[in-house]
A = this chain, B = another copy of it.
Amino acid sequence: MPDNNRGALSAFLARISRRSVLDGDEIEAILSLPTIEHRVRANQDIVRLGERIDHACLVVEGLVGRFGQTSSGERQIIALHIPGDMADLHSVVSPLVTVPLQALTASTIIRIPHVALRKIAARHPAVATAFWRDCMIDLAIMAQWLLSIGRRSAKARLAHLLCEMALRYEQIGACSSEGFLFPATQNHIGDALGLTAVHVNRMFGALKRDGLIDVKGREITINDGKGLAAVSEFDPAYLQFEALDLHQR
């Protein structure tokens, strides 16, 4: 029995609105979406490989990842999703799961039926465009990760990820002046960067020794954002922080 949860949906709406211009009807359509709340433990699967799903997952709290896996058990995190992200929005048009979804930390997510999302996309072309555009942000992020993993040193990779996550957390108001809480373990970070946890640890040490960051538990403080961006050649343009009105009304 679907519920409705305007609070959680407004975080998603905020993410969408950051990149697309919507009018009142369209906003109301999003906020009225039916929702089913779920709580998941750390390391618990949310959607499994090969399933055919009929709902998308919006992250309300916690940290969620999409995973690739080799038969020898090595994992590669394909994408990280923080609160406000619809981790699965692409599944609306691609319901056969080729990349599973798992909670990295205890998380609360809400499920939104595909039919409801398809209905408002069909009724409001600007919403369809906004959803499509939102998925393209993930694509742009993955392209940068590909560049990082393919061509950057371990230290630059880690610095790049920290720059990206700091900005993304800042967008949702979870990055104070110079620090943010990043609940991923060094194991998770290794899986995201194509490195081992041991080497991630050493690279954290290197960045600390360079005076660029400080780490206390899961709390990361950035002492020198310029420097961190410099070692990783970080350019935030790919995160596309500007609202476009692409739908000619």
Tell me the A residues contacting B by CB distance below 8 Å.
Answer: 50, 66, 68-71, 74-76, 78-79, 90, 92-96, 98-99, 115, 118-119, 121-122, 125, 128-129, 131-133, 135-140, 142-147, 149-152, 193-194, 233, 237-238, 240, 242, 244, 246-248
Contact: B140 with A99, CB < 8 Å?
yes
Chain B residues in 8 Å Cβ range of A132: 92-93, 128, 131-132, 135
> Which B residue sits closest to A99, measured CB to CB?
B143
Contact: B128 with A90, CB < 8 Å?
no
* Other-chain residue from B74, B133, B143 in contact with A68 (beta carbon distance below 8 A): B143
Oligomer copy total: 2
A98-B140, A121-B129 are known; give 5 further A-B pairs, CB within 8 A: A70-B151, A76-B150, A93-B136, A118-B246, A135-B136
CA distance A152 to B133 in the complex (A): 31
CA distance A97 to B79 in the complex (A): 21
Chain B residues in 8 Å Cβ range of A152: 70
